[in-house]
């Protein structure tokens, strides 16, 4: 009889625990995965879908209520600038129509991840985080780290401390700012680094830890509105090397480049006949931005190449191109463009 009396009590306890677990799950933040493809999805025999990626990291559900959306499923180098615009519009739409969404995770191939992440850093106009993740090894390779990076991306997107820090790149247990991070090695897992500025934070087993924030303008404070941009203007990057010909610069201008980013030697040197080519470009009304190929260092605006130019500050050449495309979509005023390079 005593055992019979215990059965309803046990059943009641189980019901209570089930209800408590359900309530706890409902309290977890909602995070949307928007998958674009890349090595993280590139399994032998076919690419993983957004839903399949989430299933590779079941621990995600300990930290967030995951949602999956397939934007594209291709190599990052195959994404077009039109797709960049469409992706940014989609992320802005998700945030503007869903106040309860805590964060967004975007998967990308690592080859051009830093460029896409910086574009989202400048164009997703919300304080909630956009976390870009990828992997150096594909799902069919021993040592595939994509599931761990995806889990950490969800953890960062779900944490309230990630708000207001712009687009974030999360790989290899580290959180880097999309503005500062760059791919430094073709093969190693620790390839994404922020060099002189360092990481924003780390993802440890017990919690997500942030050490600093980005002071430059981004996301919610950005002036760049992709809903008003039908097409990004052509901007080319030209590398300075010994004896480089200026005719490549002329060719870029004659073929429609509206802006040029020069990856100069050292603190701004050109070589060969590049100065003549740049004078030709400036004479044609093309906006020229000077950066350094050195990997770090600040280039300020002044006279160089025999004419005024825009100083690219400390942006890597490929990121200066991203900012210049957005700037040229809004204005051709050199003073305004220089202001943007100072502020962003």
Q: Indicate the helix (H) or strand (E) that contains 202.
A: strand 201-203
- C-alpha angle 63-163-20 in degrees, rounded to nearest 5: 30
CB 39 within 8 A of CB 48: no
Q: Is 270 a catalytic residue?
A: no
How many residues are listed for the chain in this entry? Answer: 344
Rounded Cα–Cα distance for residues 229 and 291 (Å): 25
Q: Computed from CA positions of residues 290, 292, 295, 296, in that sequence, does the dihedral angle turn out positive or negative?
A: negative
Read out DSSP for 204-220?
Answer: -SS-EEE-----S--GG
Q: Which of 39, 110, 159, 182 is catalytic?
A: 39
CB 202 within 8 A of CB 209: yes
Rounded Cα–Cα distance for residues 45 and 85 (Å): 30
Q: What is the DSSP letter of 76?
A: G
Please list, in sequence order, all residues whose beta carbon lies within 8 angstroms of the beta carbon of residue 328, skipping any fewer than 6 positions away: 233, 235, 258, 259, 287, 337
Please list, in sequence order, all residues whose beta carbon lies within 8 angstroms of the beta carbon of residue 282, skipping any fewer than 6 positions away: 288, 305, 307, 308, 309
H-only helix segments in the chain? 2-27, 50-56, 81-97, 113-123, 146-158, 247-254, 274-283, 317-328, 334-343
CB-facing half-sphere around the CA of 34: CA atoms within 13 A: 22
3-state DSSP of 35-53? EEECHHHEECCEECCHHHH
Look-up of token digits 């290899």: 172
Q: Active-site residues: which are they?
A: 39
């Amino acid at each position: 009889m005593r055992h019979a009396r215990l059965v309803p009590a046990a059943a009641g306890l189980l019901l209570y625990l089930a209800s408590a677990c359900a309530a706890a799950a409902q309290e977890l933040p909602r995070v949307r995965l928007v998958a674009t493809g890349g090595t993280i999805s590139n399994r032998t025999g076919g690419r993983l879908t957004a839903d399949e990626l989430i299933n590779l990291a079941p621990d995600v559900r300990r930290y967030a209520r995951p949602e999956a959306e397939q934007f594209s499923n291709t190599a990052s180098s195959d994404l077009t600038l039109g797709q960049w615009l469409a992706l940014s519009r989609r992320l802005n739409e998700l945030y503007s129509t869903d106040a309860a969404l805590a964060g967004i995770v975007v998967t990308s191939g690592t080859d051009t991840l830093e460029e896409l992440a910086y574009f989202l850093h400048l164009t997703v106009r919300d304080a909630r985080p956009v976390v870009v993740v990828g992997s150096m090894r594909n799902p069919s390779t021993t040592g595939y780290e994509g599931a761990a990076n995806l889990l950490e991306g969800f953890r960062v997107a779900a944490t309230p401390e990630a708000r207001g820090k712009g687009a974030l790149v999360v790989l290899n247990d580290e959180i880097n700012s999309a503005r500062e991070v760059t791919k430094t090695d073709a093969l190693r897992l620790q390839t994404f680094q922020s060099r002189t500025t360092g990481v924003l934070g780390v993802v440890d087993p017990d919690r997500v830890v942030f050490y600093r924030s980005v002071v430059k303008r981004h996301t919610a404070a950005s002036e760049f509105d992709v809903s008003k941009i039908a097409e990004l203007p052509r901007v080319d990057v030209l590398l300075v090397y010994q004896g480089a010909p200026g005719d490549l610069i002329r060719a870029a201008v004659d073929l429609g480049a509206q802006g040029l980013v020069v990856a100069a030697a050292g603190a701004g040197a050109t070589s060969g006949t590049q100065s003549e080519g740049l004078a030709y470009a400036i004479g044609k009304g093309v906006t020229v931005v000077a950066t350094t190929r050195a990997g770090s260092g600040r280039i300020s605006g002044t006279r160089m190449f025999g004419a005024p130019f825009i100083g690219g500050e400390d942006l890597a050449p490929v990121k200066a191109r991203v900012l210049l495309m957005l700037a040229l979509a809004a204005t051709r005023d050199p003073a305004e463009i220089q202001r943007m390079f100072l502020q962003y």
